[in-house]
Amino acid sequence: MKKLLAAGLVGAAMIAVPAQAQDEDGKLQVKLLGTLVAPDGKITEVNTDIVGLPAGTQTEANDNVVPTAAIEYFFTPNFSIETICCLTQHDVDAVAGLTGAELVSDGKLIPATFTAKYHFDLEGVKPYIGAGATYFWWVDVKPGADTIPLGVTRTTLSDELGLVLQAGTDIAIGDDGFGITLDAKRYFVDTTARWFAGDTLAIETEHKLDPWVVSAGVSYRF
């Protein structure tokens, strides 16, 4: 009986040790990242055109690299919710029809994003997958330089809801909560662009944004 009891205590201790180690991981993780935002920006539909755009006119949004902050809360060692904060700025240029013309200048975007993530634990390397929702909020958009001589006085891009898929990995550095993070997201979201001459809607087009958002940086979990 004593041997059986001793074996049971040893087994319980062996189970308790990894459980305790898992419990030592903090519930909250913050990240500081450098992020490449690479949108598409092509026209998918022309709704209004009173100026006569050349046939086959097509557009593209430029890439941008910005600092990003992320906050993540772990409900369990494997399941978390994450949100990011950044401000990214883009121009929209014509790549066909009006090739080289700047149509939108300095469009500033806040991509409010929440994702649910599932983590795998591979001895200090923790890859994850995730999915969630985003709201693209345009806070400032200006007419492109090549539209102003045509009488354009105001340009807008519509705020839109969308979906996002995510994958990446967290790599621990020591036992103090510090780490390195690599992350990639693919957004699926559109916008409606409008160019006004005074109060008159001159052009309205639908655009596919669908950016890739790729980040690398440092993390701290506590």
DSSP letter for each residue of 40-90: --EEEEEEEESS-PPTT-EEEEPPEEEEEEEEEEESSSSEEEEEEE--EEE
75: in domain: yes
pTM for the predicted model, two decimal places: 0.86
16: in domain: no
Report, as an integer, the average pLDDT of 201-219. 97
183: in domain: yes
9: in domain: no
23: in domain: no
14: in domain: no
3: in domain: no
148: in domain: yes
Based on the structure, what is the number of domains in the chain?
1
Residue-number span of the structural domain to which 151 is assigned: 29-221
CATH number at residue 124: 2.40.160.20
Say yes or no to pLDDT of 22 above 90: no
Task: Give the model confidence (pLDDT) of 117-126 as tens digits.
Answer: 999 999 889 9
Report, as an integer, the average pLDDT of 125-149. 96
